[in-house]
Structure 1
Amino acid sequence: MHWTPVLLLGLALFAGAFVQSSIGFGMAVVAAPFLVLFAPALMPGALLVTSFSLPVVQLLHGPRDVEWRSLSWALAARLLVMPLGVAAVALLSVRAISVVTGVLILLTVAASVSALGVRTTPVSSAVAGAIAGFSGTAASIGGPFFALVLQHERPTRLRATLSVFFLVGAAMAVAGLSVAGKFTTDQLVAGIAWIPFMALGYAAAAPARARLDHDRLRRAVLAFCVLASVSVIVRALVS
């Protein structure tokens, strides 16, 4: 494992943690394009390792106002579908995983900007959890679809519920990938190395959180994600 790109990719984790601590999700969506472009061998395991840490920090330092009923349905569905994500990592090439990641980011953006009147029900929670079972395992992107289901909840409840969803979901994904032999030592080491960058991103967002224009930040993040995902897909297809 070459440490220079790993440490430089820490900057992507810093930016992703800043975004997620501000709007509730985004760390994997922001960082994943950089990983698949510059260190595809570290996907998705390294990003899943880092995904453990930010939810823990958020739960320790923020309100633990969790919507347990919806969370239970989402996690149950995620567990059932997770083997499909493990199979994708085991069977697909690096190029195919890059395309899958790019497409999932585009779907995330489409879901985030849609005017769908999704409500928090057992069915919608289970559907979001099922999507995350595949996308969260194959590309470490599992939160935005459940965030869409929770969009009408209080901001504190949304962030707390998503934090538990990220934490348990990442544990499920790492366990599944480990059983399949697709979670490597390099991924573990890189994920641990990125934790300080994540912590700095979270700390940097704290004093600015109250002054941020969340709508403007959200639009900027989504626009970046579209450009990044398109570049990932084009590079994978022409390489």
Structure 2
Amino acid sequence: MTLAILLSGLTIVLGALVQGAVGYGMNLIAAPLLALVEPAFVPVPLILLASGHALLAVVREHRDVDWRGVGWAMLGRVAGTALGVLAVATLAQRPFAAIVGISVLACVVLSLVSWRPHPAPGPLLVAGVASGTFGTAASIGGPPIALLYQHAAGARIRSTMAACFAIGSAISLAGLGVAGELHVRHLVFAAWMLPFLLAGFLLSGPARRLLDGGRIRPAVLTVAAASALALIGRSVFG
């Protein structure tokens, strides 16, 4: 058990570091590794930790949050979550995961070639729907919104994504609580991981300053591409 906690902690440190510097990516890193160490560690404990990380990030860069954009994205996320639940109930998981991964990867390629997205109300609403659908059905909810903000300043990306994650996680936890899926053991594990989460968050301070020196957009696109490729790989190889 001690080794499992240590390995899980190191995973959380890395995930918190990436998300604190780029704005998202914690689930990409932590979820697969935590599932290998102990399947009970996901999804509820990870959602609890992600919620804590999001709140810390909002507090750290609260002046840069695009609250208007958050509102539009969360409005879309409500509908997207319902679509994600429907997708889980009616569609084969692997083919759907592959479609999601290919869609995200296509957006990354278009961004590199000609597409210059802007976080206007319409695109944010669509991105919110995609985020809710993809996040619920395939655990990859960050890229649709992050890609819209890829040309924004690093602080704007991180703080806005954090606000979206905080609200989205609260909705998810409320739903899990109503469904009876939130247990004391989840809170205990999250408490064990809290020092590791804080360590990764603090380490992300110097890292974000490095990325803000003109490297934030490549970082956003890299994490999105890695998320898509991981999802495609998981759908193909199981």
TM-score grouping bracket, smaller chain normalisation: 0.7 to 0.9
Could you tell me which runs of 5 or more consecutive residues in structure 2 were left unpaired when the two chains were aligned.
Answer: none
Does the residue aligned with 2:64 lie in a helix, a strand or coil? coil
In the alignment, what sits opposite 2:34? 35
Counterpart residue type for residue 131 of structure 1 = A
Does the residue aligned with 1:206 lie in a helix, a strand or coil? helix
Counterpart residue type for residue 133 of structure 1 = G
Q: How does 1:158-177 map to 2 (within 5 A)?
A: 158-177=157-176
2: CA distance, partners of 1:216 / 1:140: 22
Does the residue aligned with 2:209 lie in a helix, a strand or coil? coil
1: CA distance, partners of 2:197 / 2:102: 24
Counterpart residue type for residue 233 of structure 1 = S
In the alignment, what sits opposite 1:50? 49
- Is 1:151–1:158's contact at 8 Å kept on the other side of the alignment? yes
In the alignment, what sits opposite 1:69? 68
Counterpart residue type for residue 162 of structure 1 = M
1: CA distance, partners of 2:104 / 2:117: 15
**TM-score with structure 1 setting the length:** 0.77
Q: Number of residue pairs matched?
A: 231
Q: Which moved more, 1:171-180 or 1:133-142?
A: 133-142
Q: String of CA shifts for 1:118-159, please: whole Å, max 9, x gaps.
A: 222222111111122233345553222111122233322222
Q: Which moved more, 1:73-82 or 1:175-184?
A: 175-184
Counterpart residue type for residue 235 of structure 2 = I
2: CA distance, partners of 1:175 / 1:48: 11
2: CA distance, partners of 1:26 / 1:133: 16
1: CA distance, partners of 2:134 / 2:127: 10
- Is 1:44–1:137's contact at 8 Å kept on the other side of the alignment? no
After TM superposition, where is structure 1 displaced by more than 6 Å over at least 4 residues in a row?
Answer: 96-103
**TM-score with structure 2 setting the length:** 0.77
In the alignment, what sits opposite 1:80? 79
The alpha carbon displacement at 1:59 in A equals 2.0
Does the residue aligned with 1:211 lie in a helix, a strand or coil? helix
Counterpart residue type for residue 175 of structure 2 = G
- Is 1:86–1:177's contact at 8 Å kept on the other side of the alignment? no
Could you tell me which runs of 5 or more consecutive residues in structure 1 were left unpaired when the two chains were aligned.
Answer: none
2: CA distance, partners of 1:168 / 1:80: 15
In the alignment, what sits opposite 1:211? 210
In the alignment, what sits opposite 1:149? 148
- Is 1:74–1:125's contact at 8 Å kept on the other side of the alignment? yes
